[in-house]
Amino acid sequence: MLIALLPGDGIGPEVIAEAVRVLAAAGARDLVFETAEVGGAAYKASGHPLPQATLDVARRADAILFGAVGDPDCDRLERHLRPEQAILGLRKELGLFANLRPAKLFPELADASALRPEIARAIDLVIIRELTGDVYFGQPRGLRKTDKGLREGFDTMRYDESEIARIAKVGFETAMARSGRLCSVDKANVLETSQLWRDVVMEVSADYPEVELSHMYVDNAAMQLVRAPGQFDVIVTGNLFGDILSDQASMCVGSIGMLPSASLDSSAKGLYEPIHGSAPDIAGQGKANPLATILSAAMMLRYSLGQADVADRIEAAVSRALETGHRTADLGGNASTTAMCDAVIAALG
Ligand code: ATP
Ligand code: MG
């Protein structure tokens, strides 16, 4: 299986190198790696943040392991040349419409949560956010003057039933692979889009009788996520609501350096990346927490490569490395990037 490695900028190359070490040590099977430049590094080498050669490797690959993009040197470039455009371009070109963000508290990190430890300990959920539709892309949108001469901005929230059905299926499949509970989040008491969302999710549920489906309004979901997050297993929602809820959930489990993500298309293909950025302030200092990227590599094994057994081993090793007290600076310790990774490898047993 071909894995495209796109390390990118800042701490990206540092954390990707550690994730590759863990994949090898954990016994991941039949992986061939091809590395390509992306982001500011690609711009500096070839004048474009997402060169054709990189896109070609990403297209051919079975999965993509992505570091981070963002480079202060590129801040004044025209918008389409900025490093951040590379990840947006990859999602669009590869049709990656489903964003999965697991939020799980490692019990040893209960103190790092924004919630009280006894509430935080119950968090073990996945948010599935639709990535390619909703008010972010709906037409018409724009700025205009009203009859009274006032400036007016407008956007359109829209989804068609096929877009809702395909993300709902990801939700049901994910729920099947976990504890079998799916909560669909919408605002069906106010929005037409949400009423359609709810109808289609219910139609898709006929194919998944084993999954226990519930619906929740987004305002209530925001409240419940901090009040009693243990009630959630899998949440499926649209682009806007998912954007907000997934950032909220990430703060409930501690450091940005801990959280992985996957962006999937309708086959098994996916792009896996830590949710953090290129962290130019700590790049090149050996301080970055590599766990978000190591956990992203575990997600890649689980969702794209059919190696859930190896993914389980890696996740258990991360847990054990934390139990034995290893911490990078963002977690209040002084382990280097490499030392943290060594601890995970040692814990693989
Ligand atoms: P982007 O726009 O690419 O998301 P950002 O401006 O949101 O980037 P990050 O690059 O994610 O910011 O960094 C935010 C802060 O978190 C920085 O202080 C950075 O040093 C810290 N940080 C990010 N990732 C890590 C990590 N893996 N380990 C330790 N600290 C990190
Ligand atoms: Mg950010």
User: Mind listing the domains of the chain with CATH numbers?
Assistant: 1-105+256-349 (3.40.718.10), 114-252 (3.40.718.10)
How much is the pTM? 0.90
Q: Report the atom number in ligand 1 closest to the C-alpha of 289.
A: 28
Residue 145 annotated as catalytic? no
The 3 state secondary structure assigned to the chain is CEEEEEEECCCHHHHHHHHHHHHHHCCCCCCEEEECCCCHHHHHHHCCCCCHHHHHHHHHCCEEEEEECCCHHHCCCCHHHCCCHHHHHHHHHHCCCEEEEEEECCHHHHHHCCCCHHHHCCCEEEEEEECCCHHHCCCCCEEEECCCCCEEEECCCCCCHHHHHHHHHHHHHHHHHCCCEEEEEECCCCCHHHHHHHHHHHHHHCCCCCCEEEEEEHHHHHHHHHHCHHHCCEEEECHHHHHHHHHHHHHCCCCHHHCEEEEECCCCCEEEEECCCCCCCCCCCCCCCCHHHHHHHHHHHHHCCCCHHHHHHHHHHHHHHHHCCCCCHHHCCCCCHHHHHHHHHHHCC
Is 282 among the annotated ligand-binding positions? yes
Instruction: Read off the tokens for 203.
Output: 């139609």
Burial class (CB in 10 A: 0-12, 13-18, 19+), 155: middle
User: Is the separation of the CB atoms in 97 and 131 below 8 Å?
Assistant: yes
Is 279 among the annotated ligand-binding positions? yes
Q: How far is the CA of 277 from the centre of ligand 1 (A)?
A: 5
Closest residue by CA, ligand 1 atom 29: 288
- Provide the residue type at 316 as one letter: A
Instruction: Tell me which residues have their CB closer than 6 angstroms to ligand 1.
Output: 11, 68, 70, 256-257, 276-279, 281-282, 288-289, 292, 330
Burial class (CB in 10 A: 0-12, 13-18, 19+), 105: buried
Closest residue by CA, ligand 1 atom 25: 257
Which pLDDT score is estimated for 110? 84
Residue 155 annotated as catalytic? no
Is 231 among the annotated ligand-binding positions? no
Residue 136 annotated as catalytic? yes
Which pLDDT score is estimated for 11? 98
* Cα three-residue angle 77-12-33, rounded to 5 degrees: 115
Which pLDDT score is estimated for 244? 93
Q: How far apart are the first and last CA of the chain?
A: 25
Which pLDDT score is estimated for 74? 95
* Cα three-residue angle 22-175-236, rounded to 5 degrees: 100
Q: Report the atom number in ligand 1 closest to the C-alpha of 280.
A: 10
Q: Which ligand is nearest the CA of 19, by number?
A: 1
- What does each C-alpha distance from 179 to 70, 139, 234 come to in angstroms? 37, 38, 9
Q: Show the low-confidence residues of the chain (pLDDT under 70).
A: none
- Provide the residue type at 207 as one letter: D
Q: Which ligand is nearest the CA of 66, by number?
A: 1
Residue 247 annotated as catalytic? yes
Residues 6+ apart with CB under 8 A from 74: 40, 43, 49, 81, 82, 83
Closest residue by CA, ligand 1 atom 5: 277
Give the active site residue among 62, 134, 233, 243: 243
Q: Which ligand is nearest the CA of 285, by number?
A: 1
| Mutation probe of ligand 1 site: the residue of 276, 278, 281, 334 with most atoms within 8 A of C-beta | 276
Q: How far is the CA of 257 from the centre of ligand 1 (A)?
A: 8
| Mutation probe of ligand 1 site: the residue of 14, 256, 294 with most atoms within 8 A of C-beta | 256
- Provide the residue type at 73 as one letter: D
User: Is the separation of the CB atoms in 51 and 39 below 8 Å?
Assistant: no
Residue 44 annotated as catalytic? no
Is 133 among the annotated ligand-binding positions? no
Closest CA to 314 of 337, 296, 327: 296
User: Is the separation of the CB atoms in 113 and 120 below 8 Å?
Assistant: yes
Which pLDDT score is estimated for 159? 97
